[in-house]
Amino acid sequence: MPAAAHRLAAAEQRYLDARDLVDELELGQARGLVAPDLEARASQAIVALASELAELDAADYQPANHEDRRALELIRGWLAEAPLGRRDDDPTSHAEPDHGYRALSERIEQRYSAEQAAVDVGGDRLTRLAVLGRLAVEPDAAERRRLFLALDPVWRSIDGDGAGPTTSPYQRLLRLSADRWASGRSPVAANARALGLDPATIEPSLVEILQAWRAAMSPAQPIEPWDWWYQAGAADRALGPAIPVGRLRPLSDPYHAALGADPHALGIGYDVDPRPDRPPVPVAYTTFGRRPREGSDGGWTRAQPWILGTYTRGGLGELTELVHETGHGIHLAGIRTRPAFADWPDSDAFTEALGELTALDTAEPSWQQHWLGTSVPLVESLRGRYAEVMLDVCWALFEIRLHVDPARRPNDVWTELTSTYLGIAGHPEWSWWAMRGQLVQEPGYMVNYAIGPILAADLRAAIRAARGDWTAGDPGWYAWVSERIYRWGLERTSGEVLRDVLGRPPTPDALLTEIARA
């Protein structure tokens, strides 16, 4: 191996060692199981990586090809953001070009996090998600209204009294964020370009999806917002008795095994049961416990994905979420690429779509009948599966439109979207849009949840065209999908992967077809 290439290979190995230790540390912290010396070892590994890169700089190393340049750029980017190993006199540790914006965002997020974790419902302390879960099963409309309005402190943590920028933290943040987007830093545009899409097509596509939903699912009369979750919960209420919490893994694991993606064989770890020594995980997620490695003999040691959550009640919603997170797990286990590229894809929308490749099956009556032994009508299943997606589409449009005209009152924009397309009675007096932390944590992120279902439906249609229906199982499914979709990590852009599988840029057509089935 030439000396220059050897230097980069050594730096990549240091990088992989550091990533593995930081992954192990963050996973241990989340699980409440951290080895005493782990933080010190992770910090030392980051320092060793920095020294390796300094040697490259001293040797004036210049990568000879585009792939090596990208690899080195990614390593340097991660090191600049690494949580450990920084010196106090390192100027990059204090650099913050948007200090005011970030500081305001963090202050709002802290208030929101506290309020959403302890919603007062008649003396009971519930999380925001628990309140929404109750709305889906509470038969009494008056009680649903009381539950819904109990979220008012959550809304106020983001929007204050909603009267304007002087009293609304969100509206102050919005003006700063709109300036960033106007200067060319729109995450919506960046996401579109990463997927091979024209940014100008995003808003019309989202409107088209909402129009299709209105045509297929619009109620005859406007419904109150607190009734939205109850209407969407019909499938969960009907199927809940067939899915007790103890049956979640015994359903998800065999289903994925029937696709050639046995979670046990792939080494996927789960920490999803309530434990007294670990706080509840409010939203389940998947992370790396270890990155993939190529051995000297050309063989591979898979990544070790971990899925964290807290499942307590069972039901279709928790089962679908577990299948979705297992979809992320089998994705990470399928990555086979050089160390610098062994990470999530470059598009969060694409990543979320890959979690839906199997999760969308739980809305199919044929899947329900095969795996649960019972099913509900298609219209109930599709309403339950896509109602949350339609809210996400509204949130994405809400952010897009407010960033174009930040002087508009957010309550008015939200009322316009939800009443026009979802048939929800207008209540511009309430800031009930302000219940998603992503709106302040990372403005523009909600578009990932809107674009993700477009990509998922498109990819599922392409896989089905190539392999047929996999409802009852397809042992070759995982190998086929891994080779074409999962294995790349950051080696290829999300747009390149999509174009190779689809033969074209993604379109909303497959999702529109799904909605029209109702």
Separation CA 364–CA 372 (nearest Å)? 11
- Count of beta carbons in the 10 Å neighbourhood of residue 472: 12
Q: Cite the beta strand spans of 221-311 per DSSP E.
A: 269-271, 285-290, 293-294, 300-301, 304-308
DSSP three-state, residue 287: strand
Separation CA 26–CA 308 (nearest Å)? 12
pLDDT tens track for 352-392 = 999 999 999 999 999 999 999 999 999 999 999 999 999 99
Nearest to 102 by CA among 176, 179, 156, 157: 176
Return the pLDDT at 95: 44
Residue 390 has phi, psi (to 5 degrees) of -65, -35
CATH topology of domain 99-518: Neurolysin; domain 3 (1.10.1370)
47 alpha-carbon distance from chain centroid: 31
Which CB contacts under 8 angstroms, 24+ apart, belong to 130-137? Answer: 132/229, 133/313, 133/317, 135/226, 135/228, 135/229, 135/230, 135/233, 136/229, 136/230, 136/232, 136/233, 136/236, 136/237, 136/317, 137/230, 137/233, 137/236, 137/237, 137/240
24 alpha-carbon distance from chain centroid: 21
The length of the chain is: 518
Return the pLDDT at 295: 86
Return the pLDDT at 98: 67
Q: Is the pTM of this model over 0.75?
A: yes
* Rg over CA atoms, the chain: 23
Separation CA 276–CA 8 (nearest Å)? 45
Residue ranges in the chain whose pLDDT is less than 70? 1-5, 84-98
Helices 494-502 and 187-194, axial angle in degrees (round to 10): 40
SS3 content of the chain, % helix, strand, coil (to 5): 60, 5, 30
Return the pLDDT at 85: 55
Asked if 291 contacts 23 with a C-beta cutoff of 8 angstroms, the reply is: yes
CB within 8 Å of 380: residues ≥ 6 apart: 234, 235, 238
Q: Containing H/E element for 81?
A: helix 66-81
Q: Cite the beta strand spans of 89-239 per DSSP E.
A: 119-121, 124-126
Return the pLDDT at 89: 44
